[in-house]
Structure 1
Amino acid sequence: MTMNREALEHMGARVREKKAAYERYNFERLQEEAFATFFDLAQEYTSLENLYLICVTVPKEFFRLESRLYVLDNKTGRLVMVCTSTDGVVQAQDSSQTVPALSDRIAETDHSYLLPIRGNVALTQWLPFGGQSPILGLFEIYPKEQVDEKGLFFLEKFSNRIGYNLHQKLLLQQNIQHIKFINQLVSDIEHNVISPNLYYKLFLIRLKKSIDEYRKLQEDLRDLIMFTQTKDSNLCRELCELYHGLATRNDALEEEYQSLKKHYEHTSLFLETLLRRDHFEKGTYVLRRQPCNFRTEIIQPILDRYKAVLAKTGIHVDNRLEDIPDEEVTLFVDKGLISQVFDNLFSNAVKYTREVEDARGQKIKFISYHRKILKNYFGEGVHGVQFSIFTTGQPLSKEEAKRLFDEGFRASNVGREKGTGHGLHFVKNVVEIHGGEVGCEPKKYGNTIYFILPIKEPHQVSAPETA
């Protein structure tokens, strides 16, 4: 509430400043009407070309002044003429044409005034040619003999209004180009990444078929050993050695196959979820819900992937998910996005879990995760399921716990671990799109990060959802 009141007071002060400034300007009625006309038409027309035409026609129609408009080219960064009050929008640049030098001050020639067009300083960095200067171009007015000191002051302010409107439309045009590029990029990804990835599935199918054939050869060899063991002991011994060697290699091959299969499934799920065309077209995450067994379809596969690194870093895993039978919970979620939520949480657990000393003086280093049902949490008859992950380490302050899910925020206990502060912000976005909540609770020996999802019926989630 305090921040809102401060913002309101600040804006009120700025309005009073502007009011006082316009009183000092003491513009004539015709000048005020020219301003109003410019603003009205600049909002009515959205294209850059129409804005150029408005800039040169307002001074001509109101004050009988001719003009030329120069703007920095967004590709070369050079000043080019884009419109004149005599010929309209310039369709092609004349390389032999003399262009005035860009300046941040009013300049004059024998017949004209050159006024700098200033953009929005706060948005300068977003333009490709902006650099550190807010100057976007020049507005040339002539004949200068028809412009007195008060008229020149008005034209200076008019040029500033041109700059702010030009800046906004340049950014809009740039954003449209970015959107077109992103849409094309999505098509390229779908064609060059997602589709070829399906060939790996075919490869895995063929690999599994080969492994099964090797197993069949192993079984045939075992039958042969049984047949020869009473007839030729030496041959039987040699066949046994071959059998055990083949069995060992088949077991190793099967293990590699299972690891490759899990990696493929994990990678494919993440690729197909994050690079989903709907996300880019809507400009937000679009959910594709389906019934999901969290333990078998999400958590256990992720734990299997992290098992080795958890063991290597000496982190014990305390599993409390068994507190609630799976049949008591029916969740309809976007499996790919929720999988990445858990992946981010376990990834953070691996990086930030630290050894602490408990009340008995013993060194402990572990993560624990559990879930519980919260009756009527989201309203009467709408229950929630809370998933929690506790990690030992330095407890966060209450202020840090509140900010933990903010974009770019990193707590004081991260040490030398590298990171961007984006992972938990992603978690927050995905959970909230599902209608849930996130939170962090500092504990005596560490911190608990949790999220709560509503339990919904299938008919409540039939259509795709967006944020």
Structure 2
Amino acid sequence: MNNPDTHAQNESLLDITDEERLALVEERIEAKFLDYDGYDFSRRQNIALNIFFELSQEMRGREMFYAVCMAIPHALFGLESTMYILEDEETFALAACSSGKCDKESVLPWSDVMNHRLTIKGENMHIPIRGNPEFNDMLAFEPPHNVLGCFVMRPCSGLPGHIRLFLEKYVNRVGYQLHHRIIRARNREHIAFIKSMVQDIGHNVIVPNMYFKLYFNRLKRKIEELHLTTTSILTGMNKNANPDQIREGNRLAQIVGGIEAQYQEIYSHYESTSMFLETLLRRQHFEEGRYVLDKRDVNLRTTVVDPVVERFRHRFEERNIRLSLAHECAEDHVIRLTLDRGLIAQVLDNILSNALKYTEKMPVKGGGKEQRVSYGWKIIDDFFGPNKPGIRLWVASTGNPLDLKEPLEVFKPGFRAKNVASRPGTGHGLYFVRQVVELHGGKVSYAHTEEGNVFSFVLPFEHS
């Protein structure tokens, strides 16, 4: 089983300096030297361990690896071998035999010989194949007692103790190599699944989603027809109808106007959601295992900032949060730069989403309290070096400062500040923000000012 003390120790090593880490490794190397001195293996046995390591790296395929594993005991001591691998928590499955004809049981349960201890019964010596406990979470199941399988050798009834020790240490190395091979095989299966899933996403999500645009266009035409019909009815009623009919006609016009406003809001959400879907589920991300930018020349305000802000405006109003553009930002200011529109829009969406969740009432001049969120942008000359300007976008929200050791801590994966940990959230949104901004060659930042909590990012002011 995993040793919790070892795991805790390895976790603590993440916070030490490079010099301390190097000293610890050198200490382990010295301890290993002492261990090997104590083993007193022969020169041939030590060479055999090196040969196993080299061949296990050289040979491809699980069957060839098993052949290498069984060939070492046979070459050194003339031992025949059988290897069993744990296929689930309860069952050992026959993997390979060194003899040409394998007449062993194909599956075996845990027993007095198939267990987590070296066991000799008759001519057979059963040595548990152990993995690396630090990587057990990457397996399909948690291996009981950290056992991946069992290496059975024979004839072993008269083997001296020092040879048994060598074989036990040898099987330990087999276990670590086997563990990595299982992980690599699972990773290949995972990659194959992801590639298949990407095709399914394109076929079952992206393409059907495109049809919604057709339905929205049809609905828009119907609403336009409804407007024309309503106008025609009202024109006729104004000439001949009584006051009650005119009142009902005006009510009809209000209903039609409400339907159009609701349509516009739903269509805006559809456009944003479609862009996010197509951006985040882009095939290149999955094929390369990282976010791949699709950078184009855009008008920052009209294609990124305004659409995202408008999508949030009604939600801020429902929470009685005053949303405003910073006074130094002109609404007609045109800023064109090169970026991945979909990913940067998602970055701004994440920051505004946090502002919606965490904005608090704070005192204002003149008395009382208010919830405020402001946003804006500013060109910063030479931010990335001489003649290399940047464009800074920020969102400021009223509230108490976050409880942080250092400002960038909030952008770490899974991080939640202690004073907001009770509120809904995964701690992934701001990490995504940092990933995308840095992929653009930009920088993220957090600060608490008189405006409140200010999250910002600076992008290179690039042009196509």
Does the TM-score normalized on the shorter chain lie above 0.5? Answer: yes
- From 230, 233, 238, the equivalent of 1:221 is 233
1:185 maps onto 2:191 in alignment = no
Q: Which amino acid aligns with 2:52?
A: F
For 1:427 and 1:77, how far apart are their aligned partners in 2?
A: 44
Partner in structure 1 of residue 223 of structure 2: 211
SS at 2:140 equivalent = coil
Instruction: Give 2:61's match in structure 1, choosing from 44, 47, 52.
Output: 47
Q: Does structure 2 conserve the Cα–Cα contact (< 8 Å) formed by 1:124 and 1:133? A: no
Mapping for residues 35-434 of structure 1, pairs under 5 Å: 35-73=49-87, 78-87=91-100, 101-145=113-157, 147-225=159-237, 229=239, 233=240, 235=241, 240-241=246-247, 243-320=249-326, 323=329, 329-358=335-364, 362-397=368-403, 399-414=405-420, 416-434=422-440
Q: Distance in 2 between matches of 1:36 and 1:415?
A: 51
1:17–1:97 distance in 2 versus 1, CA, 3 Å: closer
CA shift in 2, pair 1:357/1:102, >3 Å: farther
Gaps of at least 5 residues in structure 2 are 1-14
Identity of aligned residues (%): 36
Identify the residue that residue 3 of structure 2 maps to in structure 1.
Answer: none
Matching residue of 2:11: none
Deviation at 1:358, TM superposition (A): 4.9
Distance across 1 between alignment mates of 2:41 and 2:332: 74
Closer, same or farther in 2 for the Cα pair 1:200/1:98, shift >3 Å? closer
The structure-2 alpha-carbon separation of the partners of 1:446 and 1:102, relative to structure 1 and needing over 3 Å to count, comes to farther
Displacement of 1:318 after TM fit? 3.1
AA of the residue aligned to 2:80: E
Structure 2: distance between partners of 1:358 and 1:257: 37
Q: Distance in 2 between matches of 1:72 and 1:130?
A: 11
Single out whichever of 237-246 and 314-323 deviates more from structure 2. 237-246
Distance in 1 separating the partners of 2:426 and 2:285: 22
Alignment length, in residue pairs? Answer: 449
Q: Deviations over 1:52-78 (max 9, x none)?
A: 11111111123211111111115x751
Alpha carbons of structure 1 residues 207 and 174: separation in structure 2 relative to 1, 3 Å: same
Contact 2:92-2:109 at 8 Å conserved across structures:
no
Sort the Cα spacing of 1:47 and 1:110 in 2 relative to 1 into closer, same or farther, 3 A.
Answer: same
Name the aligned partner's letter for residue 21 of structure 2.
Answer: A
Aligned to 2:10: none
Question: Residue 125 of structure 1 contacts residue 131 of structure 1 at CA under 8 Å; is this kept in 2?
Answer: no
Unmatched segments (≥5 aa) in structure 1: 459-467
* CA 1:42–1:287: 2 relative to 1, 3 Å: same
Contact 1:46-1:169 within 8 A present in 2 as well: no
Rounded Cα–Cα distance in structure 1 between residues aligned with 2:108 and 2:417: 58
The alpha carbon displacement at 1:415 in A equals 5.3
Give the partner amino acid of 1:111. E
CA distance in 2, matches of 1:15, 1:428: 38
- Contact between 1:125 and 1:132, CA under 8 Å: does it hold in 2? no
Which residue does 2:5 correspond to in 1? none
1:384-425 per-position Cα deviation (integer Å, ceiling 9, x unaligned): 011111121111355152310000111122153111111100
Rounded Cα–Cα distance in structure 1 between residues aligned with 2:236 and 2:401: 65
The structure-2 alpha-carbon separation of the partners of 1:33 and 1:131, relative to structure 1 and needing over 3 Å to count, comes to closer
Task: Provide the residue aligned with 2:47 in structure 1.
Answer: 33
Q: Give RMSD over aligned pairs.
A: 2.5
Q: Residue in 2 aligned with 1:443? A: 449
Aligned-pair CA distance for 1:322: 5.1
Kept in 1, the 8 Å contact 2:216–2:267? The answer is yes
Instruction: Give 3-state SS (helix, strand or coil) of 2:405's partner.
Output: helix
Secondary structure of residue in 1 paired with 2:413: coil
SS in 2 for 1:12: helix
CA distance in 1, matches of 2:109, 2:425: 52
The 2-side partners of 1:138 and 1:43 are apart by: 21
On the 8 A contact 1:370/1:389 being kept in 2, the answer is yes
Q: TM-score, normalised by structure 2?
A: 0.90
TM-score by length of structure 1 reads 0.89
